A and B are shown apart, each in its own frame.
Chain A
Amino acid sequence: MTPNGPESDEDLLLRMRSGDEQAFLTLYRKRQGAIYRFALHMSGSPAAAEDVTQEVFLALIREECGYDPERGTLSSYLFGIARNLVLRNLERDRSDVPLDSEPDSFLPELAIAADALVDLTRKEGLEALRRAVLSLPRRYREVVILCDLQEMDYTEAASVVGCPIGTVRSRLHRARLLLLEKLNHGSSADPAVRALRPARCLL
């Protein structure tokens, strides 16, 4: 802690590189939560999230990947490593659900009551939403997690994902439609909720 406030990530990294353990621990405690939660939402597995978090900071210790401040923040850099590790794990486990190829499919366990959207903030609704996020295709899942759950701005999310900002926005838009579709599917009691697909009108 400096007299002017908390030290920046870059300053902590600099001190850490010179062997300052306290600087490393400060940096770790500052960033590990977000990295862990990102990996947890992406994988759905606390064990995998733990491994990813550890690997991210080990990479930082070992200087395996060169961090370049010109290319983005340290936070984006750490998220980028975490993303690569998570994707590698997912690829290995092949746990993805190819919803894109089956647009009308849905996971039965995701079907919740007709007033699901109203109850999304309740416990059951949150659980359904968590599973719906987890079942999204990876490219949509990661932008929802980064922008909606981690509250990252589009610029930083684009830096993490490695694509233009416009792509992040369109993926996020598509991801939300998919989430609504998943959450509404099966709740046939309320036709108004089922009629969420955009209807053409001339107004």
Chain B
Amino acid sequence: MNCDEFWKEMPELGPELSAAQMAHLEVCRACAAQWGGQKALAAGLRALADQASARTAPSRVEARLRTAFRGETGGGEWKEARSWWQPVLSWSPAAAAVVGLALLLAYARRPETPPKEAAPAVRMAAEQIPSLALSELLDSDDAAAAGSDFIPLPYASRIGPNDDLNLVRVELPRSAMAPLGIPESAAGAAEMVEADLVLGPDGMARAIRFVR
């Protein structure tokens, strides 16, 4: 056995030397010295292991882990319930975002609320009526001539041929009829009457029709 053969078998990792290995050490001073070093190293490593054997994690680690364990388990029922709710909870922010977006879009598509036109006493009397084509209503200048019941409001903008209009039914005091040229007795001035308002695309009133 030569040196290469001796160390190739990694004798320092085995339990004990074979007869051939011992014979080699008797005749090879270099290998004997190295073997002695390996033995000393093994003893040193054992001593190091013994020295460290008493070292353990500080007790605060156990305390922290005990708390974590209780927090993690927290009783079987809670764990079971949580396992059912966990997917729901994890998806809830996404669901809330979708609902929020839907509401935002719906709100953005809503027509603007028209400002109040007459006295504070005027209130919406009916739901909005869907937009009507211009031809179904009036040309603001020729309303009377066209036989329409709608009366153009003073200083209101003209309605364009392609404007979308809204018709809104409101209630207002009978006294509001006087500025439009409709005679009204003082006795019934406070009485409420129904009227249809034509609103332009900007939400401003363009014409009015009193409901008989």
**Are B33 and A173 interface neighbours, CB within 8 A?**
no
**Are B65 and A40 interface neighbours, CB within 8 A?**
no
Q: At the interface with chain A, which of B24-32, B139-147, B163-171?
A: B24-32
**Are A198 and B48 interface neighbours, CB within 8 A?**
no
**Are A36 and B55 interface neighbours, CB within 8 A?**
yes
Q: At the interface with chain A, which of B6-14, B104-112, B183-191?
A: B6-14
Total residue contacts A-B, CB cutoff 8 A: 145
- Name the one of A18, A54, A130, A197 contacting B61, with C-beta atoms under 8 angstroms: A54
A150 to B49 alpha-carbon distance, docked (Å): 7
Interface residues contributed by chain B, number (CB under 8 Å): 49
Known: A19-B76, A176-B41, A203-B28. Contact between A32 and B12, CB under 8 A?
no
A162 adjacent to chain B (CB < 8 Å): no
**Are A125 and B44 interface neighbours, CB within 8 A?**
yes
20 pairs, CB–CB < 8 Å, chain A vs chain B? A18-B76, A21-B73, A24-B66, A25-B62, A32-B61, A35-B57, A49-B57, A54-B64, A61-B68, A121-B47, A126-B48, A148-B42, A148-B45, A176-B38, A183-B41, A192-B29, A196-B33, A196-B37, A200-B2, A201-B28
A contact residues vs B (CB 8 Å cutoff): 18-19, 21, 24-25, 28-29, 32-33, 35-37, 40-41, 49-50, 53-54, 57-58, 61-62, 117-118, 120-121, 125-126, 129-130, 133, 144, 148-151, 169-170, 172-173, 176, 179-180, 183-184, 192-193, 195-203
